[in-house]
Amino acid sequence: MVEKEICPSRLVIFEEAGSGKYKVAGIEVYGRDITIERVYDIIPALPEIIDEPEEFIPDDFEGDLILNFLKHPDLSEYLVKICKTKGIPVIASGQNIPGAICPFTCCGLGRRKGLGSYGEQFGLPEYDVEVKDRRITGLHVRRGASCGATWLVIPRMIEVPVDEALSTIGREIQYLCKADGSAFDPVSGKSPLHFAGKIHMMALKKSFSI
């Protein structure tokens, strides 16, 4: 008998001055079978270089998955190091830290083993669509952005003509996206806002073809 994988559902979140608050709110509203065990919010102004990150990052936490919304690279790297010793996976969206799962955005997280309930419900968006008379009459989320934009865009899509649906959802998601619109990836030249809009367009397009 193949042992069924245990789905992680206990999250521990690290952030700076509320940097993950929209994601936390989205998980609480749209997540199922997920418990946020603790949120560590680092508030004080931080020096450019942190020689002793243990002063800011405790090591007494336990959970099944860590969401890393820290912005300071010294803190992020130290957190990943701790989690590696604990055997806890870390998602650090928009960062580039060896040992962590680093999608370009939270809604860019692909399906992968070991992320349990969170990984099943949050990441690359997946829709089921209902169409009547060439207009969208229903849009149902199977998987979406932790900020909630995948769900929040639904009222803006009802009665939109199919021919206009892809451009509409791409535009509306960019309005709803909480990512930093001024941030650009130096390699791809893409911004998180454009990326989020594009992958929601792809998700909706795929739902039309199912």
Ordered DSSP codes for 108-172:
GPPP-TT-HHHHHHBSS-EEEEEEETTEEEEEEEEEB-TTSHHHHTHHHHTT-BHHHHHHHHHHH
Answer yes or no: do 59 and 92 share one domain: yes
d(CA 116, CA 27): 14
Answer yes or no: do 65 and 112 share one domain.
yes
pLDDT per residue as tens digits for the range 54-69: 999 999 999 999 999 9
Residues 40 and 74 in one domain: yes
Per-residue model confidence (pLDDT) at position 182? 63
- Residue 66's identity, in one-letter code, is I
Nearest CA-CA partner of 75 in 107, 114, 44: 44
Please state the pTM of the whole predicted model: 0.90
Distance between CA atoms of residues 49 and 39, nearest Å:
23
Say what angle helices 192-209 and 162-176 make with each other, to 10 degrees: 150
- Gap between the Cα atoms of 191 and 153, Å rounded: 20
- Provide the domain count of the chain: 2
Q: Domain boundary at 100, 121, 142, which?
A: 121
Q: How confident is the model at residue 159 (pLDDT cuts 50, 70, 90)?
A: very high
Helix (H) or strand (E) holding 100: none
- 100-138 pLDDT per residue, tens: 999 999 999 999 999 999 999 999 999 999 999 999 999
Phi-psi group of 99: left, alpha or beta (phi > 0 → left; psi -120 to 50 → alpha; rest → beta): left
CATH assignment of the domain containing 39: 3.40.50
User: Which of 121, 153, 188 represents a domain boundary (last residue)?
Assistant: 121
35 in Cβ contact with 10 (< 8 Å): yes
Q: Are residues 72 and 139 in the same domain?
A: no
Q: Are residues 187 and 154 both part of a single domain? A: yes
What's the average model confidence in pLDDT over 151-169?
Answer: 97
- pLDDT at res. 19: 94
Nearest to 162 by CA among 182, 187, 180, 135: 135
